[in-house]
Amino acid sequence: MHDSVQEVIKTRRFLKERLQRDYSTLRGYEAERSNVRQLLQRTAEMGESNSLLLIGPRGAGKTTLINAVLTDLMENKSFVDNTLIVHLDGNLHTDDRIALKSITVQMRLENAADGKVFGSFAENLAFLLQCLKAGDKKSKSVVFVLEEFDLFCTHHNQTLLYNLFDVSQSAQAPICVLGVTCRLDVIELLEKRVKSRFSHRQVFLFPSAHKFEEYVALFQQLMSIPGSKELQAAADRVDSLDLFKSEAFTFQRNHFDGIEYNFDKKHTENWNKQIAKLSKSAAAQKTLQMLYDFDISEAFLKTFIFRLVAQLKPEAPHITGEQLTALAAQYECDDKVELLCGLSVLELCLIITIKHHSSIYDRDPFNFEIIFARFSKFAKVSSTMQGVERAVVLKAFEHLRIVELIMPLSNSGMGKLQKEFEMHKMALTYGQIQQAVQRYQALPTEVAQWAQSSLI
């Protein structure tokens, strides 16, 4: 029993780690991958300096492509020995001073730069690159990966970008600048002096519409446990990753170690048979079709599988079709319907009142007084809402505005208009209100019936 518990824990851990760290499953983008690989190889082997922008929507696989190329190149010892990788992120490195400090740390040149005073950013960067030169004057190559590249364009005078592109153009040192962004107009964000130093190489990535059968096959592949040879290959990939001393590529062996995951052969066979059977089941096919229609990207599927795998535990050692369906249902839910289901009965009654008003008056704007007058008619004949004070109803109305289920008109707040008379519009569809009424727990019958009728 203890052994089976350990196998389940190892399975969950292995699958989660592979989903996060193994880039060998990247599909498609062969031409783009080759382009980036050649660029990096020329920088490392021939000392060429280059710059390139990877552009595409979020989740298209831009960062994964770069990591996949670097993982491949790590099998080449000369590339590992002669190249440094520096990762910068526009969300983290919000100004050039922070970015330069991170560059110094990732190059492991804190001691060399300690105590030195530089007159400019360019002088500081030139010193760092000079430090990489060996005795034979051959300089180490540096690959700069700039995530959220468009955010670096907002830095003062775009000093970082100017100096990186200037070095790459003037061949002061062999560097390659890879920018990653989802902004299609990113070139227009560059200042004229920066734009003139950029190579204007751009690679566009868009998720390709694989056949649904390939999508299901990918699901099965990502959920399966590989054989012992594949596990060893995974461990070797991590060993090669460890050869890089960059912050972003320093992984502990115990994070993803094929030898550590020495699965029982019988467990592996049973697990893979169960996953193959699950992939062919009607529940899985329906769920995967919904996910495929929603988002065809590999990143989205991996996120879904990660959440699925996280549900594995000793008392529930297998993934079931019911789990797939339940998890997929969370992607279909409407946030506003969920919000409506969390309102008080009084607040939901006001939403229903607003719906009736909108139906009768063709979605004309409304204020509190209009809605209160219509609500009062219902309250008089209702055992649930009878005797509710005006001040309480006003408070409920204001809460609907706070959670943005109703929105004030832009020009209605001008002057000293009392809040009871400020005009609003509804930020819901009739269908959302209908769903909320059907799903609301313990909703009084008279309120549910009133929602279906507009007689009052």
Each residue's pLDDT tens digit, 58-81: 888 898 899 889 888 888 888 888
The pLDDT, as a whole number, for residue 424 is: 93
The pLDDT, as a whole number, for residue 129 is: 80
Q: Worst-scoring range by mean pLDDT, 30-39, 121-130, 183-192, 193-202?
A: 121-130
**Closest residue by Cα to residue 234 from 31, 13, 35, 60:** 13
Q: Is the pLDDT of residue 55 over 90?
A: yes
Residue 314 makes CB contacts below 8 A (sequence gap 6+) with: 4, 5, 8, 9
Report pLDDT digits (tens) over 319-332. 888 999 888 888 87
Strands 424-426 and 141-147: unpaired
Measured distance CA(52)–CA(36) in Å, rounded: 8
**Closest residue by Cα to residue 86 from 145, 129, 169, 11:** 145
Measured distance CA(23)–CA(35) in Å, rounded: 17
Report pLDDT digits (tens) over 239-284. 554 444 343 343 333 334 443 557 788 888 899 999 999 999 999 9
Measured distance CA(204)–CA(305) in Å, rounded: 27
Structure tokens at 182: 């989802």
Mean pLDDT for all residues in the chain: 83
Measured distance CA(178)–CA(36) in Å, rounded: 9
The pLDDT, as a whole number, for residue 244 is: 45
Can you list the positions of beta strands (E) in 24-157? 50-55, 83-89, 141-147
Measured distance CA(174)–CA(83) in Å, rounded: 10
Q: Mean per-residue pLDDT for 209-233?
A: 79
**Closest residue by Cα to residue 173 from 130, 109, 124, 122:** 130
